[in-house]
Amino acid sequence: MSVAAGRSRGWRRWVVIGAIQIVVVLVLGEVAVRLAAPHHRGLRMLLGASTRASDFSDADTLPEIMNRTMLGFSPGSVEYGFVLNSRSFRTREYQPGPARGGLRVVALGDSFTFASGALPHEDHWTTLVEEELDRRSDRPVEVLRLGVPDTGPAFQLRLWQIEAAGLEPNIVVMAFFIGNDFIDDQGDCGVFGGGDRGFSGRLASVSTLYRAARNLRRVLSAGGEPATGRGSDGADGTKPVMGQPVPAYREAFDPGRPTFGREQFIAIENQRMALCLRSEEAAFRPLAERAAEIVKALSAEVGESGSRFVVMLIPDQFQVDQALVDEVLRTTGRRREDYDFERPQRVLGGSLRSAGIEVLDLLPVFRAAPGGEALYRPRDTHWNRRGNELAAAELTAILWSGPMSGRRAVFADDFERGSADRWSAVENSEKSTHERVPRHPPATGESSNSR
């Protein structure tokens, strides 16, 4: 054997050995990420994406369904200045069964319901609604905030079945965000976003290690400033109480700090504006029909339980902020005439109303706010304090004076007609057990818009 041949064979051997080592490292890394993700919130956030196709119908317990979200089942962790309760929600502690001697409202939704983009508990719309209803009512009122970030209607339907139904609320409010709830948990929705396309997307769909690395790169290149407020201790070093806010958070919270860099924020809003493109109406209709189907299923189950059901449609910032629209159009070269900005609310709201569902459309109210008044946090996509106040005022008015559909939905008029005897009976009743009967959302049809 010649010297050259020997060197060639040796070189190939080292290449093979190196390749095997790389494969082994990648496999071990993949296994490590998969094993660690259920126990590490940071990893879940990197791996999670509501735009991936998700099916929650086979989840039968709260930890099981929560661990499929970026939040996970993490009782006692501190999220944006609030200690999650023993059921892993950013709300007070609660017990199954009806509220004793008072009224209970359950709020379902995504990040707008969870924290409205890191907003302090005291400034959140659920807190403001609770305070005002409690002030008006002659019975205690509690609003339980069962929002979970990065989730959509399919998740909220299953959460009702697993957790919220056992709380026997008087009223259920579903907060539907126009910006992404049409595509959340639906997979690849084409021009509207969702899913992962191309080679990178296909690789991310099968490799958790690659998806974590790719998403970390996206986070680091976002250009914004991450929100603060996670931690374990209160202002005086004591352990915070589960289901209660951390007092120091509100003082440290900076409402004027942007979350995203300008380019990323404009890209997000441009993607969401596609829902309103006139040229994409045919593609939008199946998404709206699917969303309406799930919301109607939830409404039917809530109605069967004896509770009142209200859907609050939350507008995206581009529907309210004309200066933002102008900035997006400058980057895309499109015209205002290319969009029907009211279509999402018109189509979904019309479908729900035709089914007899109460709908609070906040778009007209937000557009009618005094000129120049900011309702959303800077480059964040969520409401600021003023936006939460405006939404809370409208929702409070609807809940207080609107139609009292639902056997358990009672407010001022009912108290005046002697409902005290009824609530006395409730107070003396045995605490109901929290049995969970597995139910399933409507089957998702096979289509390009299904996740």
Nearest Cα to 367, choosing from 408, 318, 416?
A: 318
Let me know if residue 22 belongs to a domain: no
Give the separation between CA 289 and CA 413, rounded to whole angstroms: 36
Tens of pLDDT along 2-61? Answer: 655 556 666 777 877 878 877 777 677 666 656 666 555 555 555 555 445 467 989 999
Residue 62, SS3? helix
CB 193 within 8 A of CB 274: yes
Give the separation between CA 412 and CA 282, rounded to whole angstroms: 45
- In total, the chain counts a number of residues equal to 451
- List the domain range (segments joined by +) for residue 361: 40-428
Q: What DSSP character marks residue 342?
A: T
pLDDT of residue 218: 52
Residue 97, burial from CB neighbour count under 10 angstroms (0-12, 13-18, 19+): middle
CATH code for the domain in which residue 315 is found:
3.40.50.1110
Helices and strands (DSSP H and E) totals, the chain? 17, 5
Give the separation between CA 107 and CA 103, rounded to whole angstroms: 13
In degrees to the nearest 10, what's the CA dihedral of 358, 362, 363, 364? 90
pLDDT of residue 447: 35
Beta bridge partners of 108: 146, 174
Let me know if residue 139 belongs to a domain: yes
Residue 266, SS3? helix
CB 133 within 8 A of CB 141: yes
Give the separation between CA 118 and CA 215, rounded to whole angstroms: 20
Residues in the chain where the model's pLDDT stays below 70:
1-10, 26, 29-54, 185-239, 402-451
pLDDT of residue 55: 76
Give the separation between CA 207 and CA 447, rounded to whole angstroms: 24
Let me know if residue 174 belongs to a domain: yes
Identify the helix (H) or strand (E) that includes residue 103: strand 103-109
pLDDT of residue 5: 58
pLDDT of residue 20: 82
Give the separation between CA 119 and CA 111, rounded to whole angstroms: 10
Give the separation between CA 303 and CA 21, rounded to whole angstroms: 59
Dihedral pair phi/psi, residue 92, rounded to 5°: -65, 165
pLDDT of residue 240: 75
Identify the helix (H) or strand (E) that includes residue 351: helix 343-354
Let me know if residue 12 belongs to a domain: no
Let me know if residue 410 belongs to a domain: yes
CB 177 within 8 A of CB 314: yes
Let me know if residue 233 belongs to a domain: yes
Q: Looking at the 3D structure of the chain, how many domains does it have?
A: 1
Give the global pTM: 0.80
CB 422 within 8 A of CB 102: no
Identify the helix (H) or strand (E) that includes residue 392: helix 385-401
pLDDT of residue 206: 59
Q: How many Cα atoms occupy the beta-carbon half-sphere of 136 within 13 Å?
A: 17
Let me know if residue 30 belongs to a domain: no
Let me know if residue 210 belongs to a domain: yes
